[in-house]
Amino acid sequence: MTEYFYPGRMGRILLLAMEEVIGKEGVHSVLGLSPVTSNMEGYLDTRSEKTFPFTVMTQLQESLEQLYGPQGGRGTALRIGRACFQYGLREYGSLLGVTETAFRLLPLHTKVRLGAKSFAGLFNKHTDQRVRLEEKDDKLFWHIERCPLCWERKTSSPVCNLAVGLLQEALYWVSGSKIFQIEEIACIARGDPACTILIDPTPLS
Ligand SMILES: [Zn+2]
């Protein structure tokens, strides 16, 4: 069976963001909950493109739910997703093209659409995750067609909150501190063909 990965650099971003939200002790507890993650602590090969398997990413989400309860775990994943963006920007900002002055001067709608497109491209190029961006009826649909967050999971509701948090923070940053309605409306773990995150590109306030 094919195994899919995130690169070590992104795995490190995820662990740093997790530490920021739940502290060193929290990370220690989460990693210790499964044999899939228990020997990861303190070691992560950030040079390798194939360091962080989808099975580990998904296990971390499940362990968060185990530790904090389903609701609390998903809320925590959302916050970790937001924190991931700040670390990600430091690591990948120059690749995204969103830090340049020319980009910052574009109209809001264009920035949101181009920003989302640029993030999708980053995942498609640097990870085994597959994202397809669709524009329909003035809305953006972020379809994760191969998702690292719910890999081989079976659930009754969408569980890829980390991706929602990441997009919330990304668009908050791209738009100069505007808040958007962003929600996961379909999830592979629930039997849907993709994990779909609906983005309303008109800010709430
Ligand atoms: Zn998913």
pLDDT tens-digit profile of 2-39?
899 999 999 999 999 999 999 999 999 999 999 999 88
pLDDT of 51 reads 81
42 pLDDT higher than 70 = no
d(CA 42, CA 46): 12
> Is the CB of residue 16 less than 8 Å from the CB of residue 87?
yes
174 pLDDT higher than 70 = yes
d(CA 141, CA 117): 11
> Is the CB of residue 199 less than 8 Å from the CB of residue 141?
yes
Q: Ligand 1: distance of its center to the CA of 6 in Å?
A: 14
Report which of 163, 169, 127, 161 is spatially closest to residue 142, judged by C-alpha positions: 163
| Residue 204: pLDDT band with limits 50, 70, 90 | very high
Pairing of strands 195-199, 182-186: antiparallel
Q: Which residue is associated with the tokens 């959302």?
A: 78
Q: Ligand 1: distance of its center to the CA of 55 in Å?
A: 12
Q: Ligand 1: distance of its center to the CA of 53 in Å?
A: 14
Q: Ligand 1: distance of its center to the CA of 150 in Å?
A: 4
pLDDT of 100 reads 85
Report which of 48, 36, 39, 60 is spatially closest to residue 6, judged by C-alpha positions: 48
Residues less than 5 Å from ion ligand 1, measured at CB: 147, 149-150, 160, 195
Q: Ligand 1: distance of its center to the CA of 78 in Å?
A: 13
For residue 149, report the phi and psi dihedrals to the nearest 5 degrees.
-90, -20
Report which of 129, 106, 125 is spatially closest to residue 175, judged by C-alpha positions: 106
Report which of 83, 76, 160, 168 is spatially closest to residue 119, judged by C-alpha positions: 168
The structure's pTM equals: 0.95
Q: Ligand 1: distance of its center to the CA of 104 in Å?
A: 31
Q: Ligand 1: distance of its center to the CA of 160 in Å?
A: 5
Q: Average pLDDT in the 140-165 region? A: 98
Identify the helix (H) or strand (E) that includes residue 81. helix 54-96
More confident residue, 200 or 205: 200
Q: Ligand 1: distance of its center to the CA of 163 in Å?
A: 8
Q: Look at residue 143 and give its three-state secondary structure.
A: strand
d(CA 114, CA 100): 13
